[in-house]
Amino acid sequence: MIIPSALPEKAFLSHAPGYWRDKNVSPSDWNSSTWQLKNRVTSLAGLEEHLVLADEERAGVLLSGNKLAMAITPHYFNLIDRVDPDCPIRRQVIPRIEETLDDPAEMADPCGEDSHMPVPGLVHRYPDRVLFLVTDRCASYCRYCTRSRVVSGVGEQTMQLEHEMAFKYLEQHTEVRDVLLSGGDPLLFSDGKLEGILKRLRSIPHIEFIRIGSRIPIFLPQRITPELCQMLQRYGLWMSIHTNHPRELTTEVREGLERLANHGIPLGNQSVLLRGVNDDPDVMKSLVQKLLMCRVRPYYLYQCDLIKGSSHLRTSVSKGIEIIESLRGHTTGYAVPQFVIDAPGGGGKVPLNPDYILQRDEQRVLIRNYEGEAFEYPEPASVAATELAGVLR
Average pLDDT (160-185) is: 95
Average pLDDT (332-353) is: 96
Q: How far is CA 104 from the centre of its chain?
A: 26
Average pLDDT, the chain: 92
Q: Which pLDDT value is given to residue 20?
A: 59
Query: Among 293, 190, 301, 289, which Cα is nearest to 242's?
Result: 301
The domain segmentation of the chain, as residue ranges, is 9-96, 114-352, 357-392
Q: Which residues contact 38 (CB under 8 A, 6 or more apart)?
A: none
On whether the CB atoms of residues 344 and 334 are closer than 8 A, the answer is no
Beta strands in the chain (DSSP E): 122-126, 129-133, 178-182, 209-214, 238-241, 267-273, 297-303, 338-343, 348-352, 357-360, 364-368, 374-378
Using the predicted structure, report yes or no on whether residue 355 has a pLDDT greater than 90: yes
Determine the Cα–Cα distance for residues 301 and 284; give it in Å rounded to an integer: 10
pTM of the predicted model, to two decimals?
0.91
Question: Which DSSP string corresponds to 54-107?
Answer: -HHHHHHHHHGGGTS---B-HHHHTTS-SS-TT-TTHHHHS--GGGG---TT-B
Q: What digits encode the pLDDT tens for the residues 65-104?
A: 778 999 999 999 999 999 999 999 999 999 999 999 989 9
Using the predicted structure, report yes or no on whether residue 213 has a pLDDT greater than 80: yes
User: Which of 263-277, 350-364, 378-392 has the weakest average pLDDT?
Assistant: 378-392
Average pLDDT (99-118) is: 93
| Amino acid present at 181 | L
Query: Among 247, 263, 330, which Cα is nearest to 295's?
Result: 263
Determine the Cα–Cα distance for residues 226 and 372; give it in Å rounded to an integer: 48
Q: Which pLDDT value is given to residue 329?
A: 95
Top-confidence residue, 302 or 24: 302
Average pLDDT (128-152) is: 95
Q: Which residues contact 73 (CB under 8 A, 6 or more apart)?
A: 36, 37, 40, 139, 140, 219, 220
Determine the Cα–Cα distance for residues 52 and 74; give it in Å rounded to an integer: 17
Q: Which pLDDT value is given to residue 3?
A: 39
Q: Directed axis angle between helix 191-202 and helix 163-172, to 10°?
A: 20
Using the predicted structure, report yes or no on whether residue 2 has a pLDDT greater than 80: no
Average pLDDT (355-373) is: 93
Which positions are catalytic?
125-126, 129, 138, 142, 145, 147, 305, 342, 349
On whether the CB atoms of residues 170 and 118 are closer than 8 A, the answer is no
On whether the CB atoms of residues 215 and 138 are closer than 8 A, the answer is yes
Q: Directed axis angle between helix 226-233 and helix 251-262, to 10°?
A: 30
Determine the Cα–Cα distance for residues 186 and 204; give it in Å rounded to an integer: 20
Length of the chain: 393
pLDDT band at 5 (very low <50, low <70, confident <90, very high): very low
Using the predicted structure, report yes or no on whether residue 219 has a pLDDT greater than 70: yes
Using the predicted structure, report yes or no on whether residue 290 has a pLDDT greater than 80: yes
CATH architecture of 114-352: Alpha-Beta Barrel (3.20)
Average pLDDT (366-389) is: 80
User: Which of 44-53, 240-249, 341-350, 382-391 has the weakest average pLDDT?
Assistant: 382-391
